[in-house]
Structure 1
């Protein structure tokens, strides 16, 4: 991320990077795996879009979160950017597109005083075994092969994409290669999809609304069975059976009414766990079903996040001073030909993007400054494609006696350098920087900073 681009939205930057990848590989086979951030916590959207949707909220609609709506619009914009790029590069007709989610919508973070989204009429959401957590739409595009606008009610999983793409691309599997999923090409052609069952294994216990204790489920036809591990008498399993054709919201547990079907579907679950060598939850010897409150299941608490009254202060995008971007716990200003760093303690630092990339070689950074703060100093260098990191830095001792001192720090970059950062102290106080220079291994100045004519 380039710190010199203020207010840049992550989804916009991701789309730019994806476009760059497409442009670089347009003349050869490529695979782009693009995970969208804009459907996920933390909930960070463009302010102007949030306000636009806030004016359109229907309080009676379960989809009433303006922040999430703004995030979805940014996601849509990013997808549009990629599709436009395929058209511009004239490769749209040769590109397969798969658009899908790995889980249902988030139903337990509170944003704008409501849940981020709603999966109605499905029950539950992300991190639950109910359909609201595991069922989502998928779109597959292959011009000239998959009919535009066609639909299928076949149930698929992400494990199906690999064998599907191999078949769509006429690529043979490796000898003795096995797949967890099946090719969904028949469904894409409007034909029935033949498979015995689909399994979902979630042996966890997240404290979210609509939670279920550690469990595994099987879908077969219109039926779904959930096995709750060791949730019954004497360490036995407990079951929930739903007919999704008649009860997509999973409100009526039919396990007691169809014991033979429960047994039949549970055999499929057991076979799946054995074949996959799954790690299973153990029996809790102290579990007492008589003291367990079944009604407590699915009673998780909403987590406040996003734009709620209890949210911490919003992130402030700070502007560079004399080309230096303040970070951490400091503010910058220029007066009397010096760069003043006002630190409140913790991690004061300031960074600078060099006007030209400098080739990798030993360098020296010199700084002339005075300080009444405390702690050691540290110089970082930013190599292309890598963030500022302690492995690309050098610590130096600082004298905080209020007098001017000059420090020379040796840097040893392994790759081309595009930026430098100075952490002048660790404590509270004021640092005044008179000048800084970056020198190559021959002592020639690469860049020099003085503040006589700096913008205040």
Structure 2
């Protein structure tokens, strides 16, 4: 599979060169999720996300963390070949592509293209990274469910007998990641390949808090010793849930 994908990229690059289009092309490569680890899932192929925890259909790092690269002929020497650990989300590609296509302003008005090049702005982490600023985003809402999933969406969880997640959220803020809400059934789902760390209850809701800077593999739930962080991130989840355009977001 990897060989065929590599060959395919080679054919695309050759076609761009033949048509004199390579110098005006930006290549973005990114995966949408980690490998599926549950054999009953439709796209299980025996992958591995190690050393990160778990895989597709979960919100542990093994399920959502993905490497990516961006190639462009006009990148300056200070950026070429660099490795960025900036926190970014796949939706950032939208604003980036609009700007590269010559849009004078994105829908959200985050940044503009000027005659002198890009006008840098704090709104797009991928754009900043292309300028050598790897500060990235500070927050990503990984998942938000404020009601049980509709019956027609259960296929996303591989089996109609899967314990449905209900009223919980997962959020990343700087180095912290919080799972908060009705986690008991989710933590016993067959989608997980290993049990959740022991849950801690804060304001009557189950919580798992990880410091990904010192615990990137999500082994130690530090919620009990960081109640203030849990409450801060839980308030952010609550705000998102009130602003959500629908009852469930996955």
CA distance change for structure 1 residues 201 and 175 in 2, over 3 Å: closer, same or farther?
A: closer
| Structure 2 partner of 1:277 | 245
**d(CA) in 2 for partners of 1:159, 1:183:** 10
Determine which structure has greater relative contact order: mean sequence separation of CA pairs < 8 Å that are 6+ residues apart, divided by chain length. Answer: 2
Structure 2 match to 1:185: 127
Is this contact kept in 1: 2:55–2:61, CA < 8 A? yes
Match of residue 206 from structure 2: 238
Residue 218 of structure 1: how far off its partner (Å): 1.1
1:226–1:278 distance in 2 versus 1, CA, 3 Å: farther
Is residue 2:179 matched to residue 1:226? yes
Q: Residue 156 of structure 1 corresponds to which residue in structure 2?
A: 88
CA contact (8 A) 1:129 1:212 kept: no
Alpha-carbon distance change, 261 to 212 in structure 1, aligned in 2, over 3 angstroms:
farther
Structure-to-structure mapping, 1:34-45, within 5 angstroms: none
Q: Flag the 1:101–1:95 CA change in 2: closer, same or farther, 3 A.
A: same
Contact 2:99–2:106, Cα closer than 8 Å, also in 1: no
> Residue 77 of structure 1 aligns with which residue?
7
Question: Does residue 167 of structure 1 match 2:99?
Answer: yes
**CA RMSD for the aligned pairs?**
3.3
Partner of 1:252: 220
Question: Are the equivalent residues in 1 in contact too, given 2:125–2:137 (CA < 8 A)?
Answer: no
Give the alignment of 1:3-402 within 5 angstroms.
71-109=1-39, 116-145=46-75, 147-173=79-105, 182-193=124-135, 195-201=137-143, 203=145, 206=157, 213-214=165-166, 215-229=168-182, 231=184, 236-280=204-248
Normalising by structure 1, we get a TM-score of 0.40
Q: CA deviation at 1:267?
A: 1.2
- Residue 390 of structure 1 corresponds to none
Query: Residues 86 and 72 from structure 1, CA distance in 2 versus in 1: closer, same or farther, beyond 3 angstroms?
Result: same
Question: Does structure 2 conserve the Cα–Cα contact (< 8 Å) formed by 1:213 and 1:228?
Answer: no
Instruction: Label 1:225 to 1:280 Cα distance change in 2 as closer, same or farther (>3 A).
Output: same
Distance 1:90 1:263 in 2: 55
Q: 2:190 is matched with which residue?
A: none
Shift of 1:145: 2.1
Q: Which SS does the other structure have where 1:270 is aligned? A: helix
Q: How far apart in 1 are the matches of 2:107 and 2:96?
A: 17
TM-score normalised to structure 2 length: 0.70
Residue 93 of structure 1: CA displacement?
Answer: 1.2
Query: Alpha-carbon deviation of 1:167?
Result: 2.8
Q: CA deviation at 1:115?
A: 5.8
Contact 1:241 1:254 in 2 (8 A): yes
Bigger strand share:
1
The SS at the match of 2:83 is coil
| C-alpha distance in structure 2 between counterparts of 1:174 and 1:144, whole Å | 21
TM-aligned CA distance change 1:279 to 1:76, over 3 Å = same
Q: Which runs of 5+ in 1 are unaligned?
A: 1-70, 282-456
The C-alpha deviation readout for 1:178-211, integer Å capped at 9, x for no partner, is: 89x8352111222133534111116468369xx9
Preserved contact between residue 87 and residue 137 of structure 2 (Cα < 8 Å): no
Structure with higher helix content: 2
Q: Which runs of 5+ in 2 are unaligned?
A: 112-122, 185-199
Who wins on radius of gyration, i.e. which is larger? 1
Residue-by-residue CA offset, 1:7-43 (whole Å, 9 max, x unaligned): xxxxxxxxxxxxxxxxxxxxxxxxxxxxxxxxxxxxx
Secondary structure at 2:223 match in 1? coil
Go from structure 1 to structure 2 and tell me whether the alpha carbon gap of 1:280 and 1:274 turns closer, same or farther (over 3 Å shift).
same
